[in-house]
């Protein structure tokens, strides 16, 4: 890889792995098309103990946002409270009282899915559409997240790269954690899968644990939202494409390694290939530690994963509470 040429490295991969037209001109789902009913039924059949694990962090003011791109942490306010109800201020009959609430939050602020309208490649959106024909200030008019409402259920596979490699590479990271700046390469993914004895299949929802989320919770977010992090290498684009990954998520802010793997200014080059070219839905800031422990204990790294988007019309992303059932 030529570390001085992000344009070339990105353009070459975009062309090589582009899925435009693969599911028709009107497609709104990209690689989510790789999950079918049979695959979902097979995923349900993976369930053994029935243990359910949530992969969401809590949505509150303790999150990682520091204002970059006007992203705040979720602001939750009450419209009615128990204090008011108990004091008899609400004016309802027969002693009923209530509490209501409101949320204001960027859809990219916490555990989330990036939809297909979230990233563009030189003015093009998923399936080769012009970006301005897809996402205006009215939202994503074509590939809005609402179209994925029933799509994100299937076989989940966890590759715990943090656990697999976490004892070796570099400074500042505890056991089971990759260091900031560590780029996960295709060979790391293959080695981890082999060590775990799990096979990657077309239609899988791939979860990659770096361990950075545990570190951020332990040491404070610092510059987490955009700062240095372990993550997927640009060179995994072909691997994701070849394996028929339907959707992929990590436990970091931005999915891919930060700083990015170039010696000149670069920003999220793997996104630029994955979302508008592959049509790959990406997950970020997933809390994978409890799941990782459960998988290690069970010695199994596959499970039923249900990670439904909130079908906000025209949204380019969605907060999500993914549920793994083992």
- Alpha-carbon distance of 220 to 73, in angstroms, equals 14
Output the smallest distance, CB 168 to a second copy, in A.
31
Is residue 4 close enough to count as binding a second copy by CB under 8 A?
no
Is residue 78 close enough to count as binding a second copy by CB under 8 A?
yes
Locate tokens 């080059």: which residue? 269
Q: Is 176 left (phi over 0), alpha (psi -120 to 50) or beta?
A: left
Stretch that binds a second copy, among 83-91, 179-187, 234-242, 251-259 (CB under 8 A): 83-91
Quick note: the x/- pattern for a second copy over 143-172, rule CB under 8 A, is ---x--xxx-x-------------------
Q: Which of 26, 309, 282, 322 shows the shortest CA–CA distance to 146?
A: 309
Locate tokens 């409270």: which residue? 81
Query: What is residue 58's DSSP assignment?
Result: P
Answer whether 229's CB lies under 8 Å from 253's CB. Answer: yes
Output the smallest distance, CB 216 to a second copy, in A.
16
Output the smallest distance, CB 190 to a second copy, in A.
28
Is residue 54 close enough to count as binding a second copy by CB under 8 A?
yes
Locate tokens 């372990």: which residue? 230
| The only residue of 1, 3, 22, 83 in contact with a second copy, by rule CB under 8 A | 83
Torsion angles phi and psi, residue 253, rounded to 5: -60, -40
- Alpha-carbon distance of 283 to 118, in angstroms, equals 12
Number of residues interacting with a second copy: please give it, by CB under 8 A: 117
| The only residue of 20, 23, 106, 198 in contact with a second copy, by rule CB under 8 A | 106
The residue (of 210 and 272) whose beta carbon lies closer to a second copy is 272
Stretch that binds a second copy, among 2-10, 171-179, 192-200, 243-251 (CB under 8 A): 2-10
Site for a second copy in 185-244 (CB under 8 A): none
Is residue 265 close enough to count as binding a second copy by CB under 8 A?
yes
Stretch that binds a second copy, among 139-147, 186-194, 210-218, 235-243 (CB under 8 A): 139-147
Q: Which of 212, 214, 208, 204 shows the shortest CA–CA distance to 191?
A: 208
Query: What is residue 12's DSSP assignment?
Result: H
CB proximity list for 55: less than 8 A, separation 6 or greater: 111, 207, 286, 287, 288, 291, 307, 321, 322, 323, 324
Q: Supply 276's token pair.
A: 């508008």
| The only residue of 7, 199, 219, 263 in contact with a second copy, by rule CB under 8 A | 7
The residue (of 84 and 190) whose beta carbon lies closer to a second copy is 84
Output the smallest distance, CB 304 to a second copy, in A.
6
């Amino acid at each position: 890889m030529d570390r001085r040429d992000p344009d070339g490295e990105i353009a070459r991969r975009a062309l090589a792995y582009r899925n435009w037209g693969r599911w028709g001109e009107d497609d709104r789902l990209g690689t989510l098309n790789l999950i079918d009913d049979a695959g979902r039924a097979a995923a349900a059949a993976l369930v053994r103990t029935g243990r359910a694990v949530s992969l969401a962090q809590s949505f509150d003011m303790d999150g990682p946002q520091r204002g970059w791109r006007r992203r705040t942490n979720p602001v939750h306010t009450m419209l009615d409270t128990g204090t008011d109800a108990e004091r008899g201020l609400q004016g309802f009959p027969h002693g009923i009282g209530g509490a209501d609430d409101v949320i204001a939050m960027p859809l990219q602020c916490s555990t989330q899915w990036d939809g297909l309208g979230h990233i563009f490649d030189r003015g093009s959106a998923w399936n080769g559409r012009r970006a301005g024909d897809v996402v205006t200030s009215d939202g994503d008019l074509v590939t809005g997240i609402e179209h994925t409402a029933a799509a994100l259920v299937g076989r989940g596979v966890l590759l715990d790269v943090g656990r697999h490699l976490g004892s070796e590479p570099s400074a500042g990271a505890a056991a089971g954690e990759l260091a900031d700046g560590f780029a996960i390469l295709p060979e790391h993914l293959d080695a981890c899968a082999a060590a775990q004895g799990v096979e990657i299949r077309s239609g899988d929802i791939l979860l990659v644990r770096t361990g950075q989320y545990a570190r951020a919770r332990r040491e404070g977010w610092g510059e987490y939202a955009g700062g240095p992090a372990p993550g997927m290498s640009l060179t995994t684009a072909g691997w994701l494409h070849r394996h028929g990954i339907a959707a992929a998520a990590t436990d970091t802010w931005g999915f891919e390694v930060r700083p990015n793997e170039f010696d000149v200014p670069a920003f999220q080059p793997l996104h630029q290939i994955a979302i508008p070219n592959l049509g790959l839905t990406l997950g970020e800031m997933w809390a994978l530690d409890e799941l990782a422990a459960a998988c290690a204990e069970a010695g199994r790294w596959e499970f039923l994963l249900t990670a439904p988007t909130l079908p906000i019309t025209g949204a380019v992303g969605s907060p999500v509470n993914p549920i793994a059932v083992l």
